[in-house]
Amino acid sequence: MNKNSNYRQVYLDHSATTPVDERVLNEMLPYFSDKFGNANSIHGFGSEAALAVDTARRKIAKLIDAKHTEIYFTSGGTEADNWALKGVAFARRDRGKHIITSSIEHAAIMASCKQLEAQGYELTYLSVNEKGLVSPAELKKALRSDTILVSVMLANNEVGTVQPVKELCEITHEAGVLFHTDAVQAMGSIPVSVKDLGVDMLTFSAHKFYGPKGVGALYIKGGVKPDKFVVGGHQERTMRGGTTNVPCVAGMAKALELAVENLDENAKHIKSLRDYFVSEVEKKIPHVIYNGDREKRLPQNANFSFEFIEGESLLLNLDLCGIACSSGSACSSGSLEPSHVLLAMGLKHETAHGSIRFTFGKGNTKEDVDYTVEKLIEIVGKLRAISPLFAEFKEGIINV
């Protein structure tokens, strides 16, 4: 919908994307028209661009405790996830065709798994508990002699739960199997060190941490050799073809540098707003369910189910008041099934349909929270007043 300028604009959808930080933009600008060379050209224009790419690669590597030869730039998180899964699946098919993932992964992983299943691979989807956490014990039981890869996300995009990746990775390595993690939501929000986590591959994407859209990377530990995914030229040490997106790569490095430098300060601010929001909603709106573990959770994420109402209608009403958030409702996506994450956590279909994700960012204020809570009270009240489910509940016909 168009932005309504009559209202305060409150952006609470930072897990969808973030605005590019001005310092990031300034880092990118020279590489569009001035230093526009192709990083693969051997002339001066090319060398200038190649230097920028190399500098960015070294900077990013250092920030996540990797070597610069272990960073491969991609078009974003989705490509990196596709590459990690299919690259290992194809490279190791002679050793086995069993892959383990979780039931709450991002669509980039889920859809890749479905494609692999259609090609004869066998997938195990680890369950999660009602708080949205994967169990290391279940992983241990799921590992087999023909397992070639385990992929479990570092933090979930819908409910923000932070998975025990270090422990999951240790268990996986004990079985001699490779481990990949999708760290798209976690990067820039919580500390991420590939060395500490011990992972073999890790996906991230710049636009989640105030960098540009259309750029991401796959960390591939030295010695790990997935098949190539996007083939073409000799870019990324021949592992990923395609002219390097120099401005975006430079921007991603700057964005990650800023995110890591200011991580504690930003996380503290964002968490305090999120915690204030959660306590206000729980105090002032009856019949809400806070989805996901309260502690093992990204600082920016709050996910609520508002009983008796449907998520999309709540989302659009908030949008009409200038508040942007997102919904786990099927109706926003065009499918009839609500969020697979919330269903995996055991929520009833109708409750999952009424779920809304609010994700805070460094630019949000306490006034944003107060305004959002005020509008939420109004809108939830209005939608419940016309909800047949709420009417039945009041008459005692259904229980929650």
Partner 1 sequence: MYNERVIKEFSNPQNAGELKDANAIGQVGNASCGDIMKIFMKINSDNVIEDVSFQTFGCAAAIATSSVATAMIKGKTVDEALKITNSQVVEELGGLPAQKLHCSVLAEEAIKAAIQDYLKKYKKEN
Which residues make up the interface to partner 1 (CB under 8 A)? 1, 308-310, 312-313, 316-317, 320, 329-331, 334, 336, 338, 348-350, 353, 385-389, 391
2 Cβ contact list (under 8 Å, min separation 6): none
User: Which of residues 231 and 385 has its CB atom nearest to partner 1 in the complex?
Assistant: 385
Quick count: other Cβ atoms within 10 Å of Cβ 274? 23
| Amino acid, single-letter form, for residue 180 | H
In angstroms, give the least distance from the CB of 350 to partner 1: 4
In angstroms, give the least distance from the CB of 395 to partner 1: 10
In angstroms, give the least distance from the CB of 291 to partner 1: 17
In angstroms, give the least distance from the CB of 55 to partner 1: 42
User: Which of residues 147 and 372 has its CB atom nearest to partner 1 in the complex?
Assistant: 372
Dist CA 97 CA 189 (whole Å): 34
What's the maximum distance between 2 C-alpha atoms anywhere in the chain? 78
Provide the token pair at 239: 């592992």
212 contacts 28 by C-beta, under 8 angstroms: yes
182 Cβ contact list (under 8 Å, min separation 6): 77, 81, 105, 106, 108, 109, 151, 153, 154, 203
| Amino acid, single-letter form, for residue 188 | G
76 contacts 213 by C-beta, under 8 angstroms: yes
71 contacts 60 by C-beta, under 8 angstroms: yes
Cα-flanking dihedrals φ and ψ of residue 203, to 5°?
-105, 135
**Sheet-wide strand order for 122-126:** 71-74, 216-220, 201-205, 178-182, 147-151, 98-102, 122-126
In angstroms, give the least distance from the CB of 392 to partner 1: 9
Give the residue among 67, 40, 76 at the shortest CA–CA distance from 230: 76
95 Cβ contact list (under 8 Å, min separation 6): 146, 148
User: Which of residues 181 and 351 has its CB atom nearest to partner 1 in the complex?
Assistant: 351
User: Which of residues 197 and 315 has its CB atom nearest to partner 1 in the complex?
Assistant: 315
User: Nearest 5 degrees, angle CA 343-CA 334-CA 105?
Assistant: 40
- Give burial (CB, 10 Å; 0-12/13-18/19+) of 228: middle
In angstroms, give the least distance from the CB of 118 to partner 1: 24
User: Which of residues 284 and 349 has its CB atom nearest to partner 1 in the complex?
Assistant: 349
Residue labelled with tokens 């995110």: 259
User: Which of residues 182 and 307 has its CB atom nearest to partner 1 in the complex?
Assistant: 307
User: Which of residues 248 and 323 has its CB atom nearest to partner 1 in the complex?
Assistant: 323
| Amino acid, single-letter form, for residue 331 | C
Positions marked active-site: 331
User: Which of residues 107 and 386 has its CB atom nearest to partner 1 in the complex?
Assistant: 386
R_g (Cα) of the chain, nearest Å? 22
